[in-house]
């Protein structure tokens, strides 16, 4: 059943990284500037991230199966609307609906794993799920570039709409009896609704825990930086700055997809464990900052590719971040903690894409192109998030970094 649920997460990954290749034809067809393009692509993440807290409550009170089956059809509607779009507004609404439909995709997998695995096993399974979900990035690499050149960009959305419907059928028939043992299984719908409203206080308790702001600060920037590169700027960077073909950009995206499949499992195996994880997370993320600064000024294709690969690998420390968060929060709050984690993750992605689109107007660099500004802005936002984590997540003297 985890495999069936992961099929939805794989498609979610495909949807959220389509912009890395499609941003090139979309800019041309709809005559979008960088600011507007970032707004359209980033609307997926606003919808996705904004729904995470609600999804956490729905899963806790109505179960995995009902939640995913009720909400995932929005992705089919959104994909069809995006494929048929004739204006930027239609395209943006399509992205919003896709974001709604994909919102429960990964959270249901995490909850199912949390019910069956603990400690080191959970870290390994989380890494496996994250790596498996990255198979969706394979579709948005060379295959997407090929489809754009031969059938047009709209065909990509139509194909994903069909796959999303088939995934819904797979979950409908294949995911059964996953919620019978949950505390809310025997409650009536009215009782579940009342419990859901009361559960909101759990988020207040999470925000009152001392380490929460620091944890959310790092979560807000790391994945966001990688997704902004992979899901928005990758295609335009390679095509416009380095004058390569869209298929070449697709091939590099394929390499990043392969990295994203295996790197989380590598980080899972290298997890330093309680007491050491904080120190590693204070140091390792600076690799991304250096990578973005180099990428901002690189005029050589091989240097840009090397920087992109390093960023892709380093960004997979999300595995450590979730394990770090899981150690801090008590068992009865961990479901909502994961929902809050995901909210920060994807709201960060939306913010990073939006601010990188405005970076050129903010910096007004005389000797740099739009990519220089976008990547410098990414490096600055990353630095702020890392420093915030170091300061706000700092363990109390005499208390282990992970309790």
Distance CA(169)–CA(73), nearest Å, equals 10
Q: Which residues contact 377 (CB under 8 A, 6 or more apart)?
A: 355, 356, 359, 362, 363
Residues 120-165 pLDDT 10s: 677 678 778 877 887 888 888 889 999 998 999 999 999 999 999 9
Cα 127–Cα 349–Cα 359 angle in degrees, nearest 5: 140
Quote the pLDDT of residue 206.
83
Confidence of residue 303 (pLDDT cuts 50, 70, 90): very high
Q: How confident is the model at residue 192 (pLDDT cuts 50, 70, 90)?
A: low
Let me know the angle formed at the C-alpha of 137 by 317 and 263, rounded to the nearest 5 degrees: 30
pLDDT at 401 over 70: no
pLDDT at 193: 63
Q: Among 24-33, 43-52, 176-185, 284-293, name the one with the lowest average pLDDT.
A: 176-185
Q: What is the mean pLDDT of residues 77-89?
A: 95
Residue 71, C-beta contacts closer than 8 angstroms, at least 6 positions apart: 55, 58, 100, 101, 103, 104
280 contacts: CB under 8 Å, gap ≥ 6: 272, 320
The predicted pLDDT at position 332 comes to: 67
- pLDDT digit string (tens) for 364-394? 877 778 899 999 999 999 999 999 999 999 8
> How much is the pTM?
0.81
Could you tell me the pLDDT band of residue 403, with boundaries at 50, 70 and 90? very low
Angstrom distance (rounded) from CA 323 to CA 38: 31
pLDDT of residue 349: 86
Check residue 266 and give its pLDDT. Answer: 83
Q: Does position 237 have pLDDT exceeding 60, yes or no?
A: yes
Name the pLDDT band for 242 (thresholds 50, 70, 90): very high
Class of the CATH domain delimited by 1-177+184-393: mainly alpha
Q: Which residue has the higher pLDDT, 343 or 95?
A: 95
Summarised one tens digit per residue, pLDDT across range 248-296 is: 998 998 898 888 878 887 887 888 877 788 899 999 999 999 999 999 9
| Tens-digit pLDDT profile for residues 320-355 | 888 888 778 876 676 678 778 888 888 898 899 889
Share of the chain above pLDDT 70, in %: 91
Q: In the chain, where are the structural domains located?
A: 1-177+184-393
Tally of CB atoms within 10 A around 73: 15
pLDDT of residue 77: 97
Q: Report the 3 state secondary structure along 34-51.
A: HHHHHHHHHHHHHHHHHC
Taking only the tens place, the pLDDT of each residue in 42-77 is: 889 889 888 888 888 888 778 889 999 999 999 999
Q: Which residue has the tokens 């996953």?
A: 178
Quote the pLDDT of residue 288. Answer: 96
């Amino acid at each position: 059943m985890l495999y069936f649920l992961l099929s939805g997460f794989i498609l979610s990954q495909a949807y959220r990284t389509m912009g890395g290749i499609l941003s090139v034809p979309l800019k041309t067809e709809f005559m979008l500037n960088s600011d507007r393009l970032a707004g359209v692509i980033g609307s997926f993440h606003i919808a996705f991230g904004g729904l995470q807290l609600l999804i956490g409550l729905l899963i806790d009170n109505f179960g995995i199966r009902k939640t995913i089956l009720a909400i995932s059809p929005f992705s089919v509607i959104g994909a069809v609307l995006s494929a048929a779009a004739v204006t930027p507004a239609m395209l943006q609404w399509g992205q919003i609906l896709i974001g709604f439909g994909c919102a429960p995709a990964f959270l249901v997998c995490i909850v199912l794993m949390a019910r069956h695995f603990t400690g080191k096993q959970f870290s390994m399974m989380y890494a496996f799920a994250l790596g498996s979900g990255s198979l969706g990035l394979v579709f948005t690499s060379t295959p997407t570039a090929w489809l754009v050149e031969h059938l047009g960009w709209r065909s990509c959305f139509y194909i994903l709409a069909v796959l999303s419907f088939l995934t819904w059928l797979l979950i409908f028939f294949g995911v059964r009896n996953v919620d019978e043992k949950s505390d809310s299984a025997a409650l009536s719908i009215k009782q579940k609704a009342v419990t859901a409203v009361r559960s909101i206080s759990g988020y207040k308790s999470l925000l009152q825990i001392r380490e929460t702001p620091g944890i959310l600060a790092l979560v807000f920037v790391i994945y966001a930086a990688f997704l902004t590169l992979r899901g928005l700027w990758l295609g335009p960077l390679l095509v416009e700055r380095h004058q390569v073909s869209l298929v070449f950009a697709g091939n590099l995206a394929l390499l990043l997809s392969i990295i994203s499949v295996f790197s989380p499992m590598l980080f899972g195996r290298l997890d330093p464990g309680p007491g050491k994880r904080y120190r590693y997370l204070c140091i390792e993320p600076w690799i991304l900052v250096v990578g973005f600064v180099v990428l901002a000024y690189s005029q050589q294709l091989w240097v840009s590719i090397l920087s992109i690969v390093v960023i892709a690998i380093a960004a997979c420390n999300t595995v450590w971040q979730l394990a770090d968060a899981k150690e801090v929060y008590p068992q009865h709050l961990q479901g909502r903690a994961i929902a809050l984690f995901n909210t920060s993750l994807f709201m960060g992605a939306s913010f990073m894409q939006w601010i990188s689109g405005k970076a050129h107007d903010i910096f007004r660099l005389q000797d740099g192109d739009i990519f220089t500004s976008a990547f410098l802005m990414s490096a600055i936002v990353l630095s702020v998030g890392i420093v915030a984590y170091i300061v706000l997540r700092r363990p109390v003297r005499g208390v282990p970094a992970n309790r």
